[in-house]
Amino acid sequence: MRITVDVDGTKYTDEVEPRLLLVHYLRDRLGKVGTVVGCETSNCGACTVHLNGRSVKSCSVLAVQADGSEVTTVEGLAEEDGTLHPVQRAFHECHALQCGYCTPGMIMASVDLLNENPDPDEQQVREGLEGNLCRCTGYQNIVKAVQQAAGDMRAESTGGAR
Protein backbone atom coordinates (compact mmCIF):
# COMPACT_ATOMS: atom_id res chain seq x y z
CA MET A 1 0.00 0.00 0.00
CA ARG A 2 1.12 3.55 -0.71
CA ILE A 3 1.23 5.96 2.22
CA THR A 4 2.14 9.60 2.53
CA VAL A 5 3.15 10.81 5.95
CA ASP A 6 4.81 13.93 7.32
CA VAL A 7 7.52 12.93 9.79
CA ASP A 8 9.33 15.63 11.72
CA GLY A 9 8.42 18.18 9.06
CA THR A 10 9.43 16.11 6.02
CA LYS A 11 6.89 14.49 3.73
CA TYR A 12 7.49 10.86 2.76
CA THR A 13 5.61 8.72 0.25
CA ASP A 14 6.35 5.01 0.40
CA GLU A 15 5.00 1.61 -0.48
CA VAL A 16 4.57 -0.43 2.71
CA GLU A 17 3.27 -3.83 3.68
CA PRO A 18 -0.19 -3.51 5.24
CA ARG A 19 1.05 -5.23 8.40
CA LEU A 20 4.12 -2.99 8.92
CA LEU A 21 4.08 -1.32 12.33
CA LEU A 22 4.69 2.41 12.50
CA VAL A 23 7.66 1.89 14.84
CA HIS A 24 9.38 -0.29 12.23
CA TYR A 25 8.54 2.12 9.41
CA LEU A 26 10.06 5.00 11.38
CA ARG A 27 13.20 3.10 12.38
CA ASP A 28 13.89 0.83 9.42
CA ARG A 29 12.62 2.88 6.49
CA LEU A 30 13.20 6.44 7.69
CA GLY A 31 16.14 5.95 10.08
CA LYS A 32 14.33 7.54 13.04
CA VAL A 33 16.12 5.30 15.54
CA GLY A 34 15.33 7.56 18.50
CA THR A 35 11.97 5.80 18.49
CA VAL A 36 12.96 2.56 20.18
CA VAL A 37 11.37 -0.87 20.01
CA GLY A 38 10.54 -1.98 23.51
CA CYS A 39 8.00 -4.66 24.26
CA GLU A 40 6.08 -4.53 20.95
CA THR A 41 2.88 -5.08 22.95
CA SER A 42 2.15 -1.42 23.88
CA ASN A 43 2.93 -2.06 27.54
CA CYS A 44 6.18 -0.14 27.98
CA GLY A 45 5.73 3.08 25.98
CA ALA A 46 9.34 3.24 24.80
CA CYS A 47 8.10 3.68 21.21
CA THR A 48 5.83 6.66 21.94
CA VAL A 49 5.58 9.26 19.18
CA HIS A 50 3.06 11.98 18.39
CA LEU A 51 0.49 11.21 15.72
CA ASN A 52 -1.35 14.38 14.73
CA GLY A 53 -0.21 15.99 17.95
CA ARG A 54 -1.21 13.22 20.38
CA SER A 55 1.05 10.59 21.89
CA VAL A 56 0.61 7.04 20.63
CA LYS A 57 2.59 3.88 21.10
CA SER A 58 3.94 3.33 17.61
CA CYS A 59 4.11 -0.44 18.11
CA SER A 60 0.30 -0.47 18.24
CA VAL A 61 -0.24 1.57 15.06
CA LEU A 62 0.14 0.25 11.55
CA ALA A 63 2.06 2.46 9.17
CA VAL A 64 -0.97 2.50 6.85
CA GLN A 65 -3.05 3.96 9.70
CA ALA A 66 -0.68 6.95 9.71
CA ASP A 67 -1.35 7.69 6.04
CA GLY A 68 -2.04 11.41 5.63
CA SER A 69 -0.92 12.16 9.18
CA GLU A 70 1.79 14.16 10.88
CA VAL A 71 4.21 12.19 13.04
CA THR A 72 6.68 13.74 15.43
CA THR A 73 9.48 11.66 16.85
CA VAL A 74 11.90 12.58 19.61
CA GLU A 75 14.32 13.70 16.89
CA GLY A 76 11.73 16.18 15.68
CA LEU A 77 11.32 17.99 19.00
CA ALA A 78 14.55 19.98 18.93
CA GLU A 79 14.80 23.20 16.93
CA GLU A 80 16.65 23.15 13.62
CA ASP A 81 19.61 24.89 15.26
CA GLY A 82 19.87 22.04 17.79
CA THR A 83 18.19 23.86 20.67
CA LEU A 84 16.55 21.21 22.79
CA HIS A 85 12.84 21.23 23.52
CA PRO A 86 12.24 22.29 27.15
CA VAL A 87 11.30 18.70 28.08
CA GLN A 88 14.47 17.32 26.52
CA ARG A 89 16.53 19.96 28.31
CA ALA A 90 14.84 19.28 31.66
CA PHE A 91 15.38 15.52 31.35
CA HIS A 92 19.08 16.23 30.84
CA GLU A 93 19.37 18.81 33.62
CA CYS A 94 17.38 16.77 36.17
CA HIS A 95 19.17 13.48 35.39
CA ALA A 96 15.82 11.93 34.50
CA LEU A 97 17.40 8.95 32.82
CA GLN A 98 19.76 6.16 33.56
CA CYS A 99 20.05 3.60 30.80
CA GLY A 100 18.07 5.90 28.49
CA TYR A 101 15.99 3.19 26.85
CA CYS A 102 12.63 4.58 27.97
CA THR A 103 13.69 8.21 27.64
CA PRO A 104 12.41 8.97 24.10
CA GLY A 105 8.97 7.60 24.93
CA MET A 106 8.93 9.35 28.31
CA ILE A 107 9.83 12.65 26.67
CA MET A 108 7.14 12.31 24.00
CA ALA A 109 4.49 11.36 26.56
CA SER A 110 5.62 14.26 28.76
CA VAL A 111 5.29 16.77 25.94
CA ASP A 112 1.75 15.53 25.28
CA LEU A 113 0.94 15.72 28.99
CA LEU A 114 2.19 19.31 29.21
CA ASN A 115 0.24 20.29 26.11
CA GLU A 116 -2.89 19.07 27.91
CA ASN A 117 -1.96 20.30 31.38
CA PRO A 118 0.71 23.03 31.46
CA ASP A 119 0.97 23.01 35.26
CA PRO A 120 0.64 19.44 36.56
CA ASP A 121 1.25 18.53 40.18
CA GLU A 122 3.32 15.46 41.06
CA GLN A 123 0.33 13.10 41.08
CA GLN A 124 -0.88 14.36 37.71
CA VAL A 125 2.57 13.80 36.21
CA ARG A 126 2.71 10.27 37.59
CA GLU A 127 -0.79 9.51 36.28
CA GLY A 128 -0.02 11.11 32.93
CA LEU A 129 3.03 8.92 32.42
CA GLU A 130 1.65 5.68 33.84
CA GLY A 131 1.63 4.04 30.40
CA ASN A 132 5.40 4.51 30.09
CA LEU A 133 7.64 2.24 32.10
CA CYS A 134 11.12 2.87 33.43
CA ARG A 135 13.01 0.08 35.13
CA CYS A 136 15.97 2.21 36.27
CA THR A 137 15.10 5.59 37.75
CA GLY A 138 12.34 5.18 40.27
CA TYR A 139 10.55 8.05 38.45
CA GLN A 140 11.42 10.80 40.97
CA ASN A 141 13.75 12.67 38.62
CA ILE A 142 11.38 12.11 35.71
CA VAL A 143 8.59 13.82 37.66
CA LYS A 144 11.00 16.60 38.64
CA ALA A 145 12.02 17.06 34.99
CA VAL A 146 8.43 17.27 33.77
CA GLN A 147 7.60 19.86 36.39
CA GLN A 148 10.74 21.87 35.58
CA ALA A 149 9.88 21.73 31.87
CA ALA A 150 6.35 22.88 32.66
CA GLY A 151 7.72 25.93 34.44
CA ASP A 152 10.20 26.62 31.65
CA MET A 153 7.48 26.34 29.01
CA ARG A 154 5.18 28.69 30.93
CA ALA A 155 8.05 31.18 31.31
CA GLU A 156 8.87 30.96 27.58
CA SER A 157 5.23 31.50 26.61
CA THR A 158 5.01 34.66 28.71
CA GLY A 159 8.41 35.94 27.56
CA GLY A 160 10.00 35.37 30.96
CA ALA A 161 13.53 34.21 31.48
CA ARG A 162 14.26 30.67 32.57
**Domains by residue range for the chain, with CATH:** 2-76 (3.10.20.30), 86-157 (1.10.150.120)
Nearest to 48 by CA among 111, 114, 6, 97: 111
Give the other-Cβ count within 10 Å of 100's Cβ.
Answer: 11
13-34 pLDDT, tens digit per residue, is 999 999 999 999 999 999 999 9
- The answer to whether 109 and 55 have CB atoms below 8 angstroms apart is yes
Beta strand residue intervals within 40-144, DSSP E: 48-51, 54-57, 70-72
Q: Answer yes or no: is pLDDT of 40 > 90.
A: no
Strand partners, 15: 2
User: What are the residues whose beta carbons fall under 8 Å from the beta carbon of 32, sequence distance 6 or more?
Assistant: 7, 8, 26, 73, 75
50-88 pLDDT, tens digit per residue, is 999 999 999 999 999 999 999 999 999 999 999 999 999
Residue 123 class from Cβ within 10 Å (0-12 exposed, 13-18 middle, 19+ buried)?
Answer: exposed
Strands 54-57 and 48-51: antiparallel
